Amino acid sequence: MDEYNIPQPVFERALFTPTREVEESADILWRERDQVRVVIIQRPVPFHGAKLVTTVIRVGAQARARGRRRS
């Protein structure tokens, strides 16, 4: 987050109230908001009951994920 100059409140909005959510696979989920993408591993190994955020980056309009929105 420091490398891409992403403040904590912007990260939290992308994580908890995304405008776009894409399941890349059964284990990988992307959430996006305000050109910030959060990549989440849904069942990391070893699994202790929590998801794992692996990557937080800024994305441009051309790199936006396409997928269904979740309610």
- DSSP three-state, residue 22: strand
Whole-number percent of the chain with pLDDT over 90 = 68
pLDDT at residue 3 in the model: 87
**3-state SS, one letter per residue, for 37-67:** EEEEECCCCCCCCCCEEEEEEECCHHHCCCC
pLDDT: is 65 or 42 the higher one? 42
pTM of the model: 0.77
Segment 43-67 shows an average pLDDT of 80
What pLDDT was estimated at residue 64? Answer: 47
pLDDT at res. 30: 95
33 contacts 57 by C-beta, under 8 angstroms: no
Q: What is the pLDDT of residue 69?
A: 55
